Amino acid sequence: MKLTLYRHHGKNERFKDLWRNRIPFHELIICLQGDVIYNINGEKVRLQDKDMLYVPMGAIRSRKGTKEQVDYISIHFLTDDPPALPVKIPQGVCSCVSALIMSADQIWHEFFPNAEPMIEKIVECILKYTQSRLEGEQVSPLVQDLKRFMLKNLSSKLKVEDIASQVLLSSSYCNAVFKKEMGMPLMQYLMKIRLEEAKLQLLANEYTLKEISENVGFDDYNLFARAFKKHLGITPLEYRNLFVL
């Protein structure tokens, strides 16, 4: 992914009309506060407090300006792997997304005009977290229960048998159903959410690296660091140093 624009428009900025145009980038609008109307491919989309809007590359979009105060963020990016997101994401701004936005804003104010390469990873986290959250609302009750158990027990050592025992079903059956619906087996998903949580804790900068490794289920920091680098290409310390001032 390549970030081409990140801009936090404060309440004191005028929310202007945008003329009808086919956009040559992907766009994510995060409405923190306000009530605005966009038109996407001929359909009206209303955004209110904490709603998000995803406009894929090639879509025709316009919007109607307003004199009311609007606090929102515009994000433009290019990617060969577009996120599987709906156009409107009601109440998409949860506590995790808010924390990521705060980190991005801090980096922007400190490093402008060279902030965008550093903010790219934060935007990727927002997109992946939002997509994962929406996917959780579209799966079977069984898979939701399995995901919920793993998320609540990230700091515990878990095997497939431990996870399956929570729903009183065989590990092979749970693994098969989970892989069919989520596209990956249980343990691969567990590693994925452990590393996603680790990234959030690294950005929050509230714990030591060793504490974070324990918080996400690794007794040995070196094992955690190797897993992190294998999946993300950099060490936990390098990741933290990219974004934490």
Provide the residue ranges of all domains of the chain, joining segments of one domain with +. 2-114, 141-243
Q: Encode pLDDT of 131-145 as tens digits.
A: 888 876 667 888 888
pLDDT of 69 above 80: yes
Which run of H or E residues covers position 40? Answer: strand 36-40
For residue 104, the 8-state DSSP code is H
Residue-wise pLDDT for 8-59, tens only, equals: 998 788 889 999 999 999 999 999 999 999 999 888 999 999 999 999 998 9
| AA letter at 8 | H
CATH number of 141-243: 1.10.10.60
Residue 137 has a pLDDT of: 65
Alpha carbons 100 and 106: distance in angstroms, whole number:
10
Kind and range of the H or E run holding 30:
strand 26-33
244 pLDDT tier (thresholds 50, 70, 90): low
Confirm whether 2-114 and 141-243 share one CATH topology: no
pTM score of the predicted model: 0.62
Q: Which two tokens stand for residue 239?
A: 């990741």
Q: Which two tokens stand for residue 129?
A: 């977290």
Fold of 2-114: Jelly Rolls (2.60.120)
